């Protein structure tokens, strides 16, 4: 977990030249130029494109309880509902339309490498101290992209817990690391879709319960074998590479979490 960083903005200044008046046409700059991604139009139901997809990645942690936000580039009802929840969580006008205020908040939350403010690639990559994104079932590029998706859900979970720090104790694992730690053969850690988290200010049961409202379809915590010292969260419903697709599995018996 790291402290929020200062976002870099590019600001265009019109400079008045001394002397005779010269007719000059200056192209209007974008309202904001972000180091990671800049949205150039308002987004709402019915719109589609990569800009919608980029938005969906960032609001995926604001799905309804037990739901997910599909990263498909189509702005439908589930995306609108997630945008509304995001807006409400940050004190914005809650209308489900992603415009200037919504994008400004997202710019504040994301770093230039596209990770959210309170999580980093370093925390999510290479279990067992190896580093890197290779060695799993997917390409390194796909795995890294999944890790970004995971981090944005964790950012939403953190906000839902009152902006109290969460610590990632295990993220992506390659095949050898997964075997070394005794992970399941189809572990979502292999895909970059999972994280094991703890907190010094929130109980594990608080984390497990809150995770239900932040887009996680796999949740394992206290009372589930091997999970009494952390909460495992993953996005198995969005992983169409195995037989877990469209399956939700929650198990934290000591916390009253099951599905």
- Report pLDDT for 13: 34
Q: Give the SS3 label for residue 170.
A: strand
Which DSSP category does 29 fall into? Answer: P
pLDDT at residue 238, as a whole number: 87
205 near 222, Cβ under 8 Å? yes
pLDDT of res. 239: 78
Looking at residue 199, what is its pLDDT? 98
Q: Which residues are annotated as catalytic? A: 227
DSSP letter string, 189-218: GGGT-EEEEE-SSS-HHHHHHHHTTTT-SE
Exposed (0-12), middle (13-18) or buried (19+): which is 234, by Cβ within 10 Å? buried
pLDDT at 189: 96
- The residue ranges of every structural domain in the chain are 50-258
The CATH topology of domain 50-258 is Muramoyl-pentapeptide Carboxypeptidase; domain 2 (3.30.1380)
- The mean pLDDT values, 10 residues at a time, for the chain of 259 residues are 40 36 37 82 98 98 95 97 98 97 97 96 85 93 96 98 96 94 93 97 98 97 97 90 69 96
Angle between helices 204-211 and 140-160 (to 10 degrees): 110
Residue with tokens 């925390």: 123
């Amino acid at each position: 977990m790291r402290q929020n960083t200062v976002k870099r903005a590019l600001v265009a200044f019109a400079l008045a030249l001394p002397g005779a008046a010269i007719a000059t046409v200056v192209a209007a700059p974008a309202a904001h130029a972000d180091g990671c991604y800049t949205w150039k139009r308002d987004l709402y139901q019915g719109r589609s494109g990569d800009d919608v997809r980029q938005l969906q990645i960032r609001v995926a942690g604001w799905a309804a309880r037990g739901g997910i936000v599909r990263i498909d580039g189509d702005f439908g009802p589930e995306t609108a509902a997630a945008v509304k929840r995001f807006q409400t969580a940050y004190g914005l006008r809650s209308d489900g339309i992603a415009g200037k205020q919504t994008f400004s908040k997202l710019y504040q939350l994301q770093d230039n490498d596209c990770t959210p403010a309170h999580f980093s690639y370093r925390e999510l990559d290479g279990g067992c101290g190896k580093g890197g994104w290779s060695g799993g079932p997917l390409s390194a590029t796909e795995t890294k992209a999944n890790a970004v998706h995971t981090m944005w859900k964790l950012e939403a979970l953190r906000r839902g817990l009152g902006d109290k720090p969460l610590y990632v104790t295990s993220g992506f694992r390659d095949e050898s690391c997964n075997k070394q730690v005794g992970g399941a053969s189809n572990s979502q850690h292999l895909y970059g879709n999972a994280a094991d988290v703890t907190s010094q200010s929130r109980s594990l049961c608080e984390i497990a319960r809150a995770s239900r409202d932040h887009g996680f379809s796999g949740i394992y915590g206290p009372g589930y074998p091997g999970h009494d010292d952390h909460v495992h969260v993953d996005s198995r419903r969005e992983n169409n590479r195995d037989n877990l697709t469209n399956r939700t599995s929650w198990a934290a018996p000591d916390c009253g979490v099951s599905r």
